[in-house]
Structure 1
Amino acid sequence: MKRSGFRRSPRSQPPGGWALDGRSPSLGYLRTSGDAAGFGPSVGSFRLTPVPRKAAPAPDYRSILSISDEAARVRALNEHLSTRSYVQGFSLSQADVDAFRQLSGPPADAQLFHVARWFRHVAAILGSPRAPAPPCGLQAMTQLCSLPGRQRPAHAAPVVSSSRVRAVPTPPVQQPDPEEEEKFSFRQYYIFTVEKLERPDNQKEKAHSPDVTLLDSDQILSSVCLAVPPHPRLWRSYISFDILRRVLRDYFKFDVFYCMNITDIDDKIIKRARQNYLFEQYREKQPQAVQLLEDVHAALQPFSAKLRETSDPDKRQMLERLERAVRLAAEPLEEPARRGLAGEELDGRVQVLLEEAKDLLSDWLDSMHGSEVSDNSIFSKLPKFWEAEFHKDMEALNVLPPDVLTRVSEYVPEIVDFVRKIVDNGYGYVSNGSVYFDTVKFANSEGHCYGKLVPEAVGDQKALQEGEGDLSISAERLSEKRSPSDFALWKASKPGEPSWPCPWGKGRPGWHIECSAMAGTLLGASMDLHGGGFDLRFPHHDNELAQSEAYFENDCWVRYFLHTGHLTIAGCKMSKSLKNFITIKDALKKHSARQLRLAFLTHSWKDALDYSADSMEAALRLEKLLNEFFLNVKDLLRAPVEVAGQFEKWEDKETELNKSFCDKKAAVHEALCDNVDTRTVMEEMRALVGQCNHYMAARKAARRRPNRALLESIARYLTHMLKIFGAIEEESSLGFPVGGPGTSLNLEPTVMPYLQVLSEFREGVRRVAREHRVPEVLQLSDALRDDILPELGVRFEDHEGLPTVVKLVDRDTLLREREEKKRAEEEKRRKKEEAARKRQEQEAARLAKMKVPPSEMFLSESDKYSKFDENGLPTHDTEGKELSKGQAKKLKKLFEAQEKLHQEYLQLVQNGSVP
């Protein structure tokens, strides 16, 4: 059963039709059938096929319906639905209808969101005027598509998130006439939801990437969008979205318009920029040892209090390590400072303490002087620097640049207008100079729903406060809200924060509003795709949805969310306390961008990915497998052959391989249609290469030439797919280019003719050397192959009775292979020597045992026996008791065995075999 990575939001259940609700095990999953060839403006018809599964039993509402008080009945119903709506999925039953008819309307209490969601579902299906059907239903879209010449409205698409896809069968909808369908200029098969996508108003496919929050290299964030410089949590999203974007654009031929937001105004950015500025000012004053120690001890007091209050074990471990490092750095200064000593050595210790105590002093300085920082340029310097670093890292990873890039600092006027309209529409309110979004009013308004992506998280105060930012969760700030779930659209600036004029006084944008305003300005009232990490679903993306739909007064600002899975480091979450925090620059020192991308391609973009030595080793093996196949095909194509000989008669082996090729292409296409399942794609490509290698080996064993045209077709197809995925950066007609990343020159056609001449000359020299028995020449020939050419990125492969195979390979790869070969040979030699040593030890032990006369073998065991007979056999134990007959018999057998061994030893001595 294939998985699909998008889940319809709680409010998007259509009035009948094919429902998309990711968690139902009861009714199966959506699959496609039909002709999938071609992805132009008109692609033919597709149908949705339900995969039947055992239906879930109808709910039992009898005990709930017997409750006379409606408020109590609704609370009981909410408790019941909390275990049904989100876990088992929703399918309408008569019990639902009976319970629905007993309610006077949807609950007003926002905490009863399970009942609210259930009420809207039932109302949509029954067509009740109390709760009109949401405009995003798939049934409605299908009906519109079935009417010739009818354009699907902009809102007719579901808001979905990463999960499984469930199919709920309803009466069939009349399919459009194929000839009429050809007239629709923007009907395309939409790969994620098994439905045709018509882009309204002749628009492009609009994609909105996750935001980039620009902080410095030490910052690890989970509550804001993403951190810079990029670390594994960031490349997971950006490499994955780059792959998805390329597949949409280059495989399915969508016209993608890609927008990326840069967050350069944010609570954490403000605080870190302020701290950096204050610390640099402090450093420039060149504090003396006594003053520095005094300040460090003062800063340690609030820091120690913070440490005592920290409950998170990883964070606590990190703070303890920082405190320990500061105290160790301060200790060498204590005595010299008391004695008033000075000198270069003391100055060096001062610099060490300054560096170790930077974070601690920065917090302390900010708490005392942060409100005095007022220059806006101080807050822009930090994000500008890290934005440049971010773009360098993305280029190094071969991530395509966005079509448009927006920065919060450049869109403040648009954000102010956006907030003003939300207030005018009745969904925002001003409080003490700040503007907040009224989540309760929005949730209770007709046609809207708050918490679409993660409804069960609504009311999670910890998540909501993290979403508001460190500078916005004081008791004073929280008291300004009508409801704890409300969030800031515009924040009144306090001293020490950047500010911009607006109708409500000087302030700055809230975190969530920036995305809505910037994306809304460029993409309009709706967008097709919105990307982000899994942990951004709530509150960030849910709040984005709410405020944007409040602004546009619609219910489908985003049609589809793409949430990438978590990334772990060697099985652990990335954390400073675990010392597993690495940057992209660090990663690229160990592995190439292609190898990193191959590692990502072999995992589903929506599932967790573990960045570890094992996962990267698997990526290296895959790269080597593909590259060796390409090199072998290139060598085959370079072999001289007549024009007519390029096309040979196919036999059973060729027919079988071609059938497998066709099957694999179909499987790759099906996998890409199934939520861009690159993991399955890479498995199919790996299997295809394996079959080609088996075919070539069989032909080689039979001394027959493989079919050039067939293998070239397969190699070009694989090259094409790898280009689509971004694993091949430069122009290359076949396989991985040799010119190296970032170069436009393809070395192969230029260099290969010369290498071929060298190879043929070397073969001739080796042949003559063998005939005339000149081993020195053969040794020089081997040195050329093993030591000299690899330094130039050239590999010669000698095969008995066959021409030498010439391959151009990346120099670093060849050198790494050479070192691995040397290590393997050294390991083999070491194991051989170890085995010989063990054999010698065993032989020495055996001879030593044989050397002992049987009459003496038990005499040394005085801890077991006290008396012996004339032959040396024990007769009594240590307590003086006579041994039993069984014990004596056993010892007699050992005595006789030793007697034989000793006789063998004496024979060996007599023969001179033993010195």
Structure 2
Amino acid sequence: MKLSSFLYIVLFLISHINIICLVIKNSSAIKRTNFLKLFDLIEKKKTINKSTYTFLRLKKRMFFTSNLLIHKHEKFVNKYTVIKKLFHYIMENKETLPKWSMPSKENKKITNLMVNNSLTRSKVEFIPQESNKIKWYACGPTVYDAAHLGHARTYVSFDIIRRILSNYFKYDVFMVINITDIDDKIIKRSNEENVDFSVLAKRWEVDFWDDMKNLNVLLPTSITRVSEYVNDIIEYIKKILNNNYAYVSEEGSVYFDINAFKKGRNHTYGKMEPESVKNEALVLEGEGDLGIVTKNKRNSYDFVLWKASKPNEPSWDSPWGKGRPGWHIECSTMASNILGNILDIHSGGIDLRFPHHDNELAQSEAFFDHSQWVNYFLHSGHLHIEGLKMSKSLKNFITIKNMLKTYTSNQIRILFLLNRWDGFMNFNPNGESMKQCIEIDKFITNFFALLNMKIKNVIFNTAILYWNDTDNKLNNFFRETKTNVHQFFLDNFNTPEALVAIQKLITEVNIYLEHNEKLQIGLLLEIKQYISFILEVFGLVYSLDSDTYPNSKKIDDVLHVLGTYRNSIRCHLQNNAKLLRNIQKELKNKTVKREHDDNSVTSNLTETDQDIYTNFINNIKNNNEILLKECDLLRDQHLLNMGILIDDRPNNEFVIKVLDDNQLQQEKNKREQEQQKKKQTGNHKKK
């Protein structure tokens, strides 16, 4: 090793010693964020030299031998997965990424937003191509089977980003999502099930959008289907041929000419994963399950634009004979057709980065004959189940529908909010992560219920308007939270930190409500409005908020009157019960003046009189108990079965919560478990 390289490594170690120590210190429960911090500074480099590469290989050996990357509590990821990730990181950075051009800032909406751009593998400032308008194309599903948790991770994450851009930063977002309804996987599955490919695709497309609706994912501005754009695809391919970036093979297929493209003006192939360009396995995977193996390709890495037809496959007429579109050309054509020659954002899962997205870039830049078709490429991170890829063969395949049978859409969305959208995510169905999501969901629901009740109980005309120290403290914390959340959003849509900030604000409000009788309603309403707004930006829905649904204000008022009426009866009955118990205690010693006694003397009650009074009191007690049971039945059965939960609190207060189906089932399960515990405790005492 040269002396300069050795010195570089020493200096690099010194500059990163705090991060390395952090990893070693937390080796028993290392988290993904700590692992990623180790590479943050390196990732900012657009190129990598030999010395840095040598250092990375050294780090790989260090991790391998020290066993630091095993999460001992929830098996966050096994060491082989992380080592593989580290190795891929090293290999990725061996290649130099091409130059990326930031759009001009002139006459643009500037927010100082930084986003992780796959075209630079770093955070860069987001600048729209035109004013405050964002043209966004998202790769949609290939519809041949049920959508799974990986799909949920991608589409919910980008739905959150879309809401932040449009609702929070006020950009004008035009979003397009495609449906791939012509594909090898669809054709293969339709042949297996002996149904027409279009019937199969339509069935699963409807199923996909049903899942998205249940996850509260907004519909895109435009939905494109490949089957409706075949003629446009043919025209698109013809222009690429005319630009001399493609050729026709003997069997009638059309291939993209990678070497010709690389020789073109300012063109680079493999912009995002140059290290994968010669990965034959990935290249073949991109050609599809039914791809034609041909010797007529000029280069083994050239990819297909138009597939010549084969028996039992759908086909369309073209200048090159019957065939169908290749996978990559579909997205290029549909995105260009609607959004034009430059996209602000293109998004998809990280597994699509190569070859699909790199091939899309090449095709589109060959079509328009310029060097930057997409300004910002966003890729959602991998999702693994207990450290392994999701697979039916491993029996860890979780569909969205099955997930929604156990958890609410809010709870699933919170799961993704707690993870960085572009980071690796490991999900353990039986781990602590979903318990945490349920608790956060319950925490927010209870907050709105309590806050609404407190606000309703304050009569504004008699409220104290003077601000004391606790009022000022809450107000300052609120303003600080708003600043922090804004900074978190600017930092590559940092939802984990933003959600934590909102939870802290809710905690402060709860403390304020608990310890203060005189409340500043104006401040509380402003905080409620802000929290509701941020939760809406997250795509979370809490139905008790009167402003969320039409007529819910009237329903809320009716529930409040009903709850108040029940609570009033219950309080009177409880007071009567106390009074009757006191009368019973004193009855035996009680004396009365007998009207028929000529001497008008006081005497003790006779046994008969005592029986009469006792029976009278017992009848009143029994009626009291019956009415109390009716109040409990109203709370525990009648209203609960309708999804209305009355939560009785100390000091004759109560909170009303409106539950959705999943929350209702969770509440019933919780009560059944409590009943079982009581029975077991009772049986144990009898023994």
- Which category of TM-score, normalised to the shorter sequence, fits these structures? 0.7 to 0.9
- The alpha-carbon distance between structure 1 residues 629 and 745, as it changes in their structure 2 partners (threshold 3 A), is closer
1:684 aligns to 2:654 (yes or no)? no
- The DSSP-based 3-state class of the residue aligned with 1:532 is strand
1:564 aligns to 2:380 (yes or no)? yes
* 1:573 counterpart (380, 386, 389): 389
Q: Which residue of 2 aligns with 1:897?
A: none
2:580 counterpart letter in structure 1: H
1:578 counterpart letter in structure 2: L
Q: Which residue of 1 aligns with 2:478?
A: 661
Q: Deviations over 1:30-76 (max 9, x none)?
A: xxxxxxxxxxxxxxxxxxxxxxx9999x9xxxxxxxxxxxxxxxxxx
Q: Which residue of 1 aligns with 2:443?
A: 625
Q: Which residue of 1 aligns with 2:8?
A: none
CA drift of 1:480 comes to 2.1
Q: Deviations over 1:605-631 (max 9, x none)?
A: 112331524322211100110111111
Q: Which residue of 1 aligns with 2:129?
A: 199
Q: Which residue of 2 aligns with 1:726?
A: 539
- CA–CA separation in structure 2 for the residues paired with 1:396 and 1:698: 39
CA drift of 1:575 comes to 1.5
Q: Which residue of 1 aligns with 2:169?
A: 252
2:266 counterpart letter in structure 1: G
2:439 counterpart letter in structure 1: R
1:428 aligns to 2:249 (yes or no)? no
Check whether the contact 2:116–2:378 (CA below 8 A) recurs between aligned residues.
no
1:805 aligns to 2:654 (yes or no)? yes
- CA–CA separation in structure 2 for the residues paired with 1:164 and 1:87: 20
Q: Which residue of 1 aligns with 2:607?
A: none
Q: Deviations over 1:328-379 (max 9, x none)?
A: xxxxxxxxxxxxxxxxxxxxxxxxxxxxxxxxxxxxxxxxxxxxxxxxxx33
- Structure-2-length-normalised TM-score: 0.75
- The alpha-carbon distance between structure 1 residues 405 and 426, as it changes in their structure 2 partners (threshold 3 A), is same
Check whether the contact 1:137–1:158 (CA below 8 A) recurs between aligned residues.
no
Check whether the contact 2:448–2:544 (CA below 8 A) recurs between aligned residues.
no
- The alpha-carbon distance between structure 1 residues 268 and 795, as it changes in their structure 2 partners (threshold 3 A), is closer
Q: Which residue of 2 aligns with 1:289?
A: none
Q: Deviations over 1:699-743 (max 9, x none)?
A: 3xxxx3443333332222111111122212779446x76x9xxx9
Q: Which residue of 1 aligns with 2:569?
A: 761
- CA–CA separation in structure 2 for the residues paired with 1:531 and 1:413: 25
Q: Which residue of 2 aligns with 1:395?
A: 213
Q: Which residue of 1 aligns with 2:367?
A: 551
1:262 counterpart letter in structure 2: I
- The DSSP-based 3-state class of the residue aligned with 1:471 is coil
Q: Which residue of 2 aligns with 1:710?
A: 523
2:236 counterpart letter in structure 1: F
- CA–CA separation in structure 2 for the residues paired with 1:454 and 1:86: 18
- The DSSP-based 3-state class of the residue aligned with 1:212 is coil
- The alpha-carbon distance between structure 1 residues 762 and 79, as it changes in their structure 2 partners (threshold 3 A), is closer
2:385 counterpart letter in structure 1: I
- The alpha-carbon distance between structure 1 residues 718 and 775, as it changes in their structure 2 partners (threshold 3 A), is farther
In the TM superposition, 1:158-173 aligns within 5 A as 160-161=117-118, 165=122
- CA–CA separation in structure 2 for the residues paired with 1:534 and 1:210: 11
- The DSSP-based 3-state class of the residue aligned with 1:253 is coil
Q: Deviations over 1:460-506 (max 9, x none)?
A: 000110100111153xx2x1211121100111112222221222122
Check whether the contact 1:159–1:558 (CA below 8 A) recurs between aligned residues.
no
Q: Which residue of 2 aligns with 1:243?
A: 160
- The alpha-carbon distance between structure 1 residues 27 and 820, as it changes in their structure 2 partners (threshold 3 A), is same
- The alpha-carbon distance between structure 1 residues 464 and 506, as it changes in their structure 2 partners (threshold 3 A), is same
- Structure-1-length-normalised TM-score: 0.57
1:405 aligns to 2:218 (yes or no)? no
- CA–CA separation in structure 1 for the residues paired with 2:263 and 2:188: 36
- The DSSP-based 3-state class of the residue aligned with 1:429 is strand
- The DSSP-based 3-state class of the residue aligned with 1:561 is strand
Pairs aligned (count): 569
Check whether the contact 1:431–1:480 (CA below 8 A) recurs between aligned residues.
yes
Check whether the contact 1:529–1:560 (CA below 8 A) recurs between aligned residues.
yes
Q: Deviations over 1:521-571 (max 9, x none)?
A: 111111011110010000000000011111111111111111111223344
CA drift of 1:275 comes to 2.5
- The DSSP-based 3-state class of the residue aligned with 1:682 is helix
* 1:453 counterpart (265, 272, 293): 272
1:751 counterpart letter in structure 2: L
- The alpha-carbon distance between structure 1 residues 827 and 771, as it changes in their structure 2 partners (threshold 3 A), is same
Q: Deviations over 1:622-670 (max 9, x none)?
A: 011011111111111111514251x532211121111111111111111
In the TM superposition, 1:727-806 aligns within 5 A as 727-728=540-541, 732-733=545-546, 747-773=555-581, 776=622, 777-778=624-625, 779-780=628-629, 781-800=631-650, 802-806=651-655
CA drift of 1:411 comes to 0.8
Check whether the contact 1:571–1:612 (CA below 8 A) recurs between aligned residues.
no
- The alpha-carbon distance between structure 1 residues 799 and 744, as it changes in their structure 2 partners (threshold 3 A), is closer
Deviating more after overlay: 381-390 vs 776-785: 776-785
- The DSSP-based 3-state class of the residue aligned with 2:331 is helix
- CA–CA separation in structure 1 for the residues paired with 2:521 and 2:192: 65
Structure 2 gaps, min length 5: 1-11, 17-39, 59-90, 582-619
CA drift of 1:151 comes to 8.4
- CA–CA separation in structure 2 for the residues paired with 1:713 and 1:517: 47
- The alpha-carbon distance between structure 1 residues 641 and 436, as it changes in their structure 2 partners (threshold 3 A), is same
- The alpha-carbon distance between structure 1 residues 712 and 447, as it changes in their structure 2 partners (threshold 3 A), is same
- CA–CA separation in structure 2 for the residues paired with 1:137 and 1:563: 19
Question: What percentage of aligned pairs have identical amino acids?
Answer: 37
Q: Deviations over 1:394-434 (max 9, x none)?
A: 11221111111111111111111111111111211111211
Q: Deviations over 1:749-788 (max 9, x none)?
A: 3432233233223322322232223664255244544444
CA drift of 1:381 comes to 1.7
* 1:208 counterpart (118, 121, 137): 137
2:101 counterpart letter in structure 1: G
- The alpha-carbon distance between structure 1 residues 515 and 729, as it changes in their structure 2 partners (threshold 3 A), is farther
Check whether the contact 2:544–2:658 (CA below 8 A) recurs between aligned residues.
no
2:486 counterpart letter in structure 1: H
- CA–CA separation in structure 2 for the residues paired with 1:448 and 1:541: 15
- The alpha-carbon distance between structure 1 residues 570 and 80, as it changes in their structure 2 partners (threshold 3 A), is closer
CA drift of 1:250 comes to 0.7
- The alpha-carbon distance between structure 1 residues 385 and 822, as it changes in their structure 2 partners (threshold 3 A), is closer
